[in-house]
Amino acid sequence: MIPLLRKALALLALALAAPSISVSHSSEVSSASTNKTIVVLGDSLAAGYGLEPEQAFPVLLQKKIDAAGWKVFVVINAGQSGDTTAGGLRRLNWLLRRKIDVMIVELGGNDGLRGISLDETRKNLEAIVRRTKDKYPGVRVALAGMQMPPNLGDEYVRPFKALYPEVAKKTGATLIPFLLENVGGHPELNQADQIHPTAEGQQIVAENVWRVLQPILRELAQ
């Protein structure tokens, strides 16, 4: 993803902003009483750091949903730059005040780059999934896998990568194998910081998520 850990830490150790919540929908969206809500709980990758809001992958997902004719689904972008799994867990109760049908959890990259223990990251991700399911038993949760740059060392990189399928299996979440597949490590698809995807990179990220999300929505739309 990036060659220097120091550069990653400097860029990602941003002060947490106020929760950023945006709703993506077309003018033809159904009434609120019949909508099904998809929440993307994430960090700067979901927030579309460095880009226009409409270029972030949650907004692109809404466009894919609308193109499929599933106007009943509304995507809420709860991406917050600099967020960690602990931060996501802290603001989860606020998000759960609204009925959620699908939760996409995109967190953990900042945990890894800040050296937060794997046990802490695992505990927080499991708590996010379980608390969401406890609140809304019928909710579908998708967990976006993340990976660390190889310069962090194999003793950390390998278990970090394995953490996501382990959490997904334990909690019953659906795994998105690697959010940045075909984007991470490709300079032309990332901004100058080599951390955050360009608009083109975000399109690929959206497609990575869509491959997993589409079958879930097809089932819920029936």
88-123 residue pLDDT tens: 999 999 999 999 999 999 999 999 999 999 999 999
Number of structural domains found in the chain: 1
Listed residue (32, 36, 162) closest to 100, CA to CA: 36
> What letter represents residue 183's amino acid?
V
In a domain, 9, yes or no: yes
DSSP string computed for 79-143: E-TT--HHHHHHTHHHHTTS--SEEEEE--HHHHHTT--HHHHHHHHHHHHHHHHHH-TT-EEEE
In a domain, 69, yes or no: yes
**Is 25 an active-site residue?**
no
Residue 72 belongs to domain spanning: 5-23+33-217
Is residue 43 within 8 A of residue 11, CB to CB? The reply is no
Q: What is the CATH number of the domain that holds 164?
A: 3.40.50.1110
In a domain, 49, yes or no: yes
Q: Quick check: 10 pLDDT over 60?
A: no
**Is 154 an active-site residue?**
no
In a domain, 222, yes or no: no
For 35-59, write each residue's pLDDT tens digit.
999 999 999 999 999 999 999 999 9
Predicted structure pTM score: 0.87
Instruction: Please tell me which residue in 43, 44, 83, 101 is annotated as part of the active site.
Output: 44
In a domain, 28, yes or no: no
**Is 196 an active-site residue?**
yes
Q: Quick check: 1 pLDDT over 80?
A: no
Structure confidence at residue 51 (pLDDT): 97
